[in-house]
Amino acid sequence: MNKSHIVALASLMLAVPAQAQEPPPRLVVVIAVDQLREDYLDRFAPHFGSGGFRLLFTRGARFTDASFVHAGTMTCPGHAVMMTGAHAAIHGIIGNDWWNLDKNRKEYCGRDDDAPLVGIVREGRSPRNLIASTVGDEMKLSNRHSKVITVSGKDRSAIMLGGKSADAVYWMEDTLFVSSRYYLAELPAWVKRYNASGEAARYFGARWDRLLPEPAYASQGPDDAPWERNVSGMGRAFPHVLGATERVPGPAYFKALEYSPFQNEMVVDLAIEAVREERLGADSVPDLLGIGLSGNDHIGHAFGPDSHEVMDITVRTDRLLSRFFAFLDAQIGLDDVLIVLTSDHGVAPVPEAAHAASPGLGALRLLDDEVKTAAETIMTERFGPPARQWIAYHDYPWLYFDESELAGRGIAIGTAESALRDAVAQFEYVTHAWTRADLRVQHAAGLSSPTVLSFHPDRSGHVTYETRPWVVVTSERDGTTHGTPWAYDRSVPLLWFGRGIRPGEYADAASIADIAPTLSRLLRIERPPAATGRVLTEMLAPQRNW
Cα 210 to Cα 313: distance, rounded to the nearest angstrom = 9
Bridge-based pairing of strands 337-342 and 27-33 is parallel
Q: In a 3-state reduction of DSSP, which class is residue 180?
A: strand
For 52, counting Cβ atoms within 10 Å of its Cβ (0-12 exposed, 13-18 middle, 19+ buried), the class is buried
Q: C-alpha dihedral over 261, 267, 269, 272, to 10 degrees?
A: -140
**pLDDT tens track, the chain, 546 positions:** 444 444 444 444 444 444 456 789 999 999 999 999 999 999 999 999 999 999 999 999 999 999 999 999 999 999 999 999 999 999 999 999 999 999 999 999 999 999 999 999 999 999 999 999 999 999 999 999 999 999 999 999 999 999 999 999 999 999 999 999 999 999 999 999 999 998 888 899 999 999 999 999 999 999 999 999 999 999 999 999 999 999 999 999 999 999 999 999 999 999 999 999 999 999 999 999 999 999 999 999 999 999 999 999 999 999 999 999 999 999 999 999 999 999 999 999 999 999 999 999 999 999 999 999 999 999 999 999 999 999 999 999 999 999 999 999 999 999 999 999 999 999 999 999 999 999 999 999 999 999 999 999 999 999 999 999 999 999 999 999 999 999 999 999 999 999 899 999 999 999 999 999 999 999 999 999 999 999 999 999 886 444
Contacts of 454 (CB under 8 A, 6+ apart): 70, 71, 72, 77, 87, 88, 89, 94, 460
**Chain-centroid distance, C-alpha 363:** 25
Torsion over CA: 490, 491, 495, 500 (sign):
positive
**What sign does the dihedral 92-406-483-447 (CA atoms) show?**
positive
Q: What is the pLDDT of residues 479-493, one digit of tens each?
A: 999 999 999 999 999
Q: What angle do CA 166, 169, 171 make, to 5 degrees?
A: 165
Burial of residue 485 (CB within 10 Å: 0-12, 13-18, 19+) is buried
For residue 157, give the nearest of 26, 264, 303, 317 by alpha carbon: 264
Torsion of the alpha carbons at 516, 520, 525 and 529, rounded to the nearest 10: 30
Alpha helices in 197-307 (DSSP H): 251-258, 262-277, 295-303
What is the residue type of 334?
Answer: L
Distances (CA, A) of 367 to 101, 113, 362: 23, 30, 16
| pTM (2 d.p.) | 0.95
User: Could you please report the per-residue DSSP string of 195-218?
Assistant: HHTTTGGGGTT-EE--SS-GGGGG
CA distance 254 to 242: 9
* Residue 150, beta-bridge partner list: 169, 290
Residues 196 and 65: beta-carbon distance below 8 Å: no
Find, among 280, 27, 297, 62, the residue nearest to 157 by Cα. Answer: 297
Return the C-alpha torsion angle 132, 137, 139, 141, nearest 10.
Answer: -100
Radius of gyration of the chain (CA): 25
